[in-house]
C-alpha cells in the first residue's frame, strides 16, 4: 500500500509539472505570436519577390518542359527509389531483415541525423532516407538539366538547396526523435527554456528573430578577444587607427598597415592570444597598425567608396609619420582587399610610391564568379537593398542573415533545434561570437560595391574611376603576396587566382591555403593544421593548371608570408612606442569595434 501511495504521489507530481510546463508554453507562445503580429503590421516592402526568384524559377520550369524525356526519366527513377525505401522500411517494421542490396544510393546523412533513432527506428529511418533521397534528387536535377545558363543555374541550385535544408525532418518537433525524447523526459521543460530563448532573441532583434549561435555573455571585446596590447592613435568619421605595442626589442623599419573588411569586425584577426595573427606579426618584429572600421549609422550616410579610399590614404600618412618612414606594407582581407586593390591601381597610375608591398587575403579583383553571395545580387535585388538603406545604411542584421543563409543547415536550422526545441544553451565559441557581432553598411559604399563589382565586374573588364582616376587591375605595380583559400565559398579560389593573374605589371606571389574563407586565413602556426601550395609561375590559365605543378607544404602559410615580407622590410630599428608622435586617443581595441546593433 505505501508503495502504491508513493507511486501515485510521484505520478501526480509529474502530471502537475507537465501541466505547469504546458501552461508556460502556451503563455510564451502567445507573447511570441503577439510580437510576430506587431512586427508583421509594420511597414514592409510591397515587392512580392524581394529576392527576384520569379525569373529564375520560370527559366527552371522551362528547362524541364524543354527536356520532357530527361525530366520523366528522372522522376521515374525517383519514384522507383522511393518505392525501394518504403519496401525496406516495411520489412524492418515487420521484424524481418531487409535486403540492403535493393536500396538506392542515398546521400550521406550528416550530423543532423546523429541520434540513434534515425538509424535504429524504422519510422525515423524512413523519414531520413526519403528526405535525403528527395533533396539530393532535387539538387541533382537542377544542376544537370539542359537549358539553364550559368548564373541562373547557380541561383536556382542555391535556393533549391535552401528549400531542401528547411524541409529537413530534423527541423520539425513531431518528426525529430531527439526532441520528442527530450520533451518526454523533461515533461516539456525543454520547450519552456527554448521559447524563453526565442522570446529573448526576438526582443533582442527588435521584432526579428536574431538567433544566438553562441553564449553571448561568455565573451567581451577587449577582455576575451581583441586583447593584443596597443593604442588608438587616430580616428576620423569612418575608422580608428590602432598601433600595436611591440613585443621585441627591435623591429623592422617599414611598418605594416592592415585593412580588414567592414562587412565584419577586424578582430577575427585578433580573436585570442593563441589565434591572433596580429599578435604573431608583432612577435615577428613588425610595427603593426590595423584599421577598425566604424559600425555606421546615419552619420555615415554620405560616405562613398572614394571617401573610404581617402580615409585609408590618410591612415597611411599617419603610420608613416608615426614611424618616420617613406614606405609601408599594406595587408588586406576580403572586401578590404578589393578596396586596397583599387587604391593601389590609382597609385600605379599616379606614381604614388608610399607602398612597399601589398598582401591580399581572399580578395576578389575579378567578379565573374564571385561565390555564393552572387546569388543575392542583380539589378532588382540591389533596388531592394537600396530600399532597406533609406536611413543611409544597411541594417546589420540584413548582411548577417545573408551570410547565415549560405550555410543555413549549420548556422540557422541546427540552432533552431538546439536552442528552441531542445532548450539547450549554445556552446561558447569565440568565432561564432565574432560572426554574430554584426555590422551595418554605409548605403552609398554598399550600393557602389554591389553594382560596380558584382554586376558590372568593372575593375577587371571595362575599368572604373576612383578619385577622378580611371583604373584597372593591371594598373597595380607594387609587389604582391596573394592568398586564396581552397574551400572558399565567398571568394572562390579560382576567381582570386584570375585576379592575381591580371596584375601583370606587379611581381605577384600567389599562395593557395587549405580550408575556407576564415579558417584558411586564421591558421596559427602552432596548430599545425591544413596546408598550403606555392608555385612561382602564375602563367597557367586556370587554378587547377597552376595547382598541378605547385608544391604542397604542411601547416600554416604564415611563415612563408613572413619570409617574403622580411625581405622587403628594411633594417632593424629600436622598438616603437604606440602614439609617440601622433599621441593616443584610447587603449586598443578602441570604441568603434565595441558598438553593437543587437544590444
Residue closest to 260 by CA, chosen among 334, 329, 328, 319: 334
Does some domain include residue 263? Answer: yes
Judged against a pLDDT cut of 60, whether residue 1 lies above it is answered with no
131 with 235, same domain: the answer is no
Closest CA to 341 of 326, 362, 324, 323: 362
Tell whether 478 and 345 lie within a shared domain.
yes
From the list 458, 442, 219, 480, the residue with the least C-alpha distance to 355 is: 480
- Contact status, residue 338 vs residue 315, Cβ threshold 8 Å: no
The domain boundary residue, chosen from 187, 219, 251: 187
Is position 334 annotated as part of the catalytic site?
yes
- pLDDT for 3 equals 67
Each residue of 128-181: pLDDT tens digit? 999 999 999 999 999 888 888 878 888 889 999 999 999 999 999 999 999 999
Q: Of the candidates 152, 187, 222, which is a domain's last residue?
A: 187
Average pLDDT, the chain: 92
- pLDDT-derived band at 16 (thresholds 50, 70, 90) equals confident
22-69 pLDDT, tens digit each = 999 899 999 988 888 887 666 555 666 777 788 888 888 888 888 899
Domain count, the chain: 2
458 vs 398, higher pLDDT: 458
CA–CA separation, 283 and 5 (whole Å): 71
Indicate the SS3 state at residue 424.
coil
Q: What's 268's domain CATH number?
A: 3.40.50.1820
E-strand spans in 393-507? Answer: 393-394, 441-442, 464-466, 469-471, 480-485
- Specify whether 250 is located in the same domain as 161: no
Mean pLDDT of the 510-519 span:
97
Residue ranges making up the domain that contains 389: 230-395+440-594
Report pLDDT for 503.
97
Q: Which residue out of 319, 334, 462, 584 is catalytically annotated? A: 334
Lowest mean pLDDT among 88-92, 501-505, 517-521: 88-92
**Is 403 inside a domain boundary?**
no
Cell of 58: 520560370
| Rounded Cα gap, residues 343 and 305, in angstroms | 10
Residue 388: enclosing H or E segment and its boundaries? Answer: helix 379-388
In a domain, 256, yes or no: yes
Q: What percent helix, strand, coil does the chain show, rounded to 5?
A: 50, 15, 35
Instruction: Assess if residue 416 is contained within a domain.
Output: no
Q: Do 241 and 370 share a domain, yes or no?
A: yes
Cβ-based neighbours of 424, under 8 Å, separated by 6 or more = 190, 193, 418
| Same structural domain, 176 and 237 | no
Burial, 258: exposed, middle or buried (Cβ in 10 Å; 0-12, 13-18, 19+)?
buried
Instruction: For residue 382, count other CB atoms closer than 10 A to its CB.
Output: 18
Which residues pair with residue 259 across a beta bridge? 332
- Residue 261 CA to residue 483 CA, distance in Å, equals 15
Rg (CA), the chain: 27
Q: Is residue 447 a part of any domain in this protein?
A: yes
Q: What is the DSSP letter of 451?
A: I
Digit-coded pLDDT (tens) for 401-419: 888 988 899 999 999 999 9
pLDDT band at residue 388 using 50, 70 and 90 as cut-offs: confident
- Burial code of 28-47, b = ≥16 C-beta within 10 A, e = fewer? beeebeebeeeeeeeeeeee
- pLDDT confidence band for 489 (50 / 70 / 90): very high
- Residues 547-575 have pLDDT tens digits of 999 999 999 999 999 999 999 999 999 99
> In terms of domains, do 85 and 168 share one?
yes
In a domain, 30, yes or no: no
Residues 171 and 235 both lie in one domain: no
Q: Which three cell numbers stand for residue 9?
A: 504521489
Q: Is residue 382 part of a domain?
A: yes
Q: Percentage of residues in the chain with pLDDT exceeding 70?
A: 96
Nearest to 395 by CA among 438, 432, 436, 433: 438
> End of a domain among 132, 164, 187?
187
- DSSP state, residue 477: -
- 6 by Cβ neighbours in 10 Å (0-12 / 13-18 / 19+) ranks as exposed
For residue 220, give every residue at least 6 positions away whose Cβ sits within 8 Å of its Cβ, in sequence order, or none. none
Q: Could you tell me if residue 37 is inside a domain?
A: no
Question: Is residue 177 located within the same domain as residue 264?
Answer: no
- Say if residue 387 is in the same domain as residue 300: yes
pLDDT of residue 47: 66
CA angle at residue 500 from 344 to 454, to 5 degrees? 80
Residues 312 and 181 in one domain: no
- Identify the residue with better confidence: 41 or 484: 484
Q: Helices (H), strands (E): how many in the chain?
A: 20, 17
CA distances from residue 73 to 67, 76, 79, 442, 591 in whole angstroms, order as listed: 10, 5, 10, 50, 61
pLDDT at residue 599 greater than cutoff 70 = no
Please tell me whether residues 165 and 242 are part of one structural domain: no
d(CA 421, CA 414): 10
- With bands split at pLDDT 50, 70 and 90, how would you rate the model's confidence at 10? low
Clarify whether residues 492 and 343 are in a common domain.
Answer: yes
Amino acid at each position: 500500500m505505501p508503495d502504491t501511495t508513493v507511486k501515485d504521489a510521484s505520478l501526480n507530481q509529474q502530471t502537475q509539472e507537465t501541466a505547469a510546463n504546458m501552461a508556460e508554453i502556451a503563455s510564451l507562445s502567445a507573447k511570441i505570436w503577439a510580437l510576430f503580429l506587431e512586427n508583421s503590421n509594420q511597414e514592409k516592402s510591397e515587392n512580392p519577390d524581394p529576392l527576384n526568384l520569379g525569373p529564375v524559377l520560370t527559366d527552371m520550369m522551362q528547362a524541364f518542359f524543354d527536356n520532357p524525356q530527361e525530366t520523366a526519366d528522372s522522376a521515374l527513377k525517383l519514384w522507383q527509389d522511393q518505392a525501394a525505401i518504403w519496401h525496406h522500411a516495411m520489412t524492418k517494421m515487420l521484424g524481418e531483415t531487409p535486403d540492403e542490396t535493393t536500396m538506392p544510393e542515398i546521400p550521406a546523412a550528416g550530423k543532423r541525423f546523429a541520434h540513434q533513432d534515425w538509424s535504429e527506428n524504422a519510422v525515423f529511418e524512413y523519414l531520413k532516407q526519403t528526405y535525403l533521397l528527395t533533396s539530393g534528387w532535387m539538387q541533382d536535377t537542377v544542376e544537370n538539366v539542359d537549358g539553364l545558363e550559368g548564373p541562373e543555374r547557380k541561383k536556382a541550385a542555391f535556393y533549391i538547396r535552401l528549400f531542401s535544408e528547411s524541409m529537413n525532418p530534423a527541423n520539425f518537433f513531431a518528426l525529430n526523435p531527439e526532441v520528442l525524447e527530450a520533451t518526454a523526459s523533461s515533461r516539456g521543460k525543454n520547450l519552456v527554456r527554448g521559447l524563453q530563448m526565442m522570446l529573448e532573441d526576438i526582443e533582442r532583434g527588435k521584432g526579428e528573430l536574431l538567433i544566438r549561435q553562441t553564449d553571448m555573455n561568455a565573451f567581451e571585446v577587449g577582455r576575451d578577444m581583441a586583447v593584443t596590447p596597443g593604442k588608438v592613435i587616430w580616428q576620423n568619421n569612418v575608422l580608428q587607427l590602432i598601433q600595436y605595442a611591440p613585443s621585441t626589442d627591435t623591429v623592422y623599419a617599414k611598418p605594416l598597415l592592415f585593412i580588414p573588411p567592414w562587412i565584419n569586425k577586424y578582430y577575427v584577426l585578433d580573436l585570442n592570444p593563441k589565434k591572433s595573427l596580429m599578435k604573431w606579426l608583432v612577435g615577428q618584429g613588425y610595427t603593426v597598425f590595423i584599421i577598425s572600421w566604424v559600425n555606421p549609422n546615419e552619420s555615415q550616410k554620405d560616405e562613398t567608396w572614394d571617401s573610404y579610399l581617402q580615409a585609408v590614404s590618410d591612415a597611411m600618412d599617419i603610420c608613416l609619420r608615426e614611424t618616420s618612414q617613406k614606405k609601408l606594407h599594406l595587408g588586406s582581407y576580403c572586401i578590404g582587399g578589393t578596396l586596397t586593390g583599387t587604391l593601389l591601381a590609382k597609385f600605379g597610375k599616379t606614381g604614388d610610391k608610399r607602398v612597399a608591398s601589398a598582401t591580399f587575403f581572399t580578395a576578389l579583383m575579378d567578379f565573374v564568379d564571385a561565390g555564393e553571395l552572387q546569388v543575392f545580387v542583380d539589378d532588382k535585388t540591389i533596388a531592394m537593398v537600396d530600399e532597406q538603406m533609406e536611413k543611409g545604411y544597411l541594417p546589420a542584421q540584413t548582411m548577417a542573415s545573408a551570410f547565415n543563409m549560405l550555410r543555413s543547415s549549420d548556422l540557422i536550422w541546427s540552432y533552431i533545434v538546439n536552442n528552441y526545441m531542445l532548450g539547450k544553451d549554445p556552446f561558447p565559441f569565440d568565432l561564432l561570437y565574432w560572426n554574430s557581432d554584426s555590422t551595418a553598411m554605409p548605403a552609398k559604399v554598399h550600393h557602389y560595391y554591389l553594382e560596380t563589382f558584382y554586376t558590372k565586374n568593372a575593375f577587371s573588364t571595362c575599368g572604373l574611376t576612383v578619385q577622378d582616376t580611371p583604373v584597372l587591375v593591371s594598373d597595380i605595380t607594387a609587389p604582391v603576396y596573394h592568398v586564396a583559400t581552397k574551400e572558399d565559398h565567398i571568394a572562390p579560389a579560382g576567381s582570386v587566382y584570375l585576379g592575381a593573374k591580371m596584375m601583370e605589371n606587379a611581381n605577384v606571389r600567389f599562395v593557395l591555403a587549405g580550408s575556407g574563407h576564415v579558417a584558411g586565413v586564421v591558421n596559427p602556426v602552432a596548430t599545425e593544421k591544413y596546408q598550403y601550395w606555392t608555385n612561382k609561375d602564375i602563367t597557367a590559365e586556370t587554378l587547377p593548371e597552376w595547382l598541378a605543378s605547385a608544391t604542397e607544404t604542411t601547416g600554416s602559410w604564415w611563415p612563408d608570408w613572413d619570409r617574403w615580407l622580411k625581405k622587403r622590410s628594411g633594417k632593424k630599428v629600436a622598438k616603437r612606442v604606440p602614439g609617440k608622435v601622433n599621441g593616443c586617443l584610447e587603449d586598443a581595441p578602441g570604441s568603434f569595434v565595441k558598438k553593437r546593433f543587437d544590444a
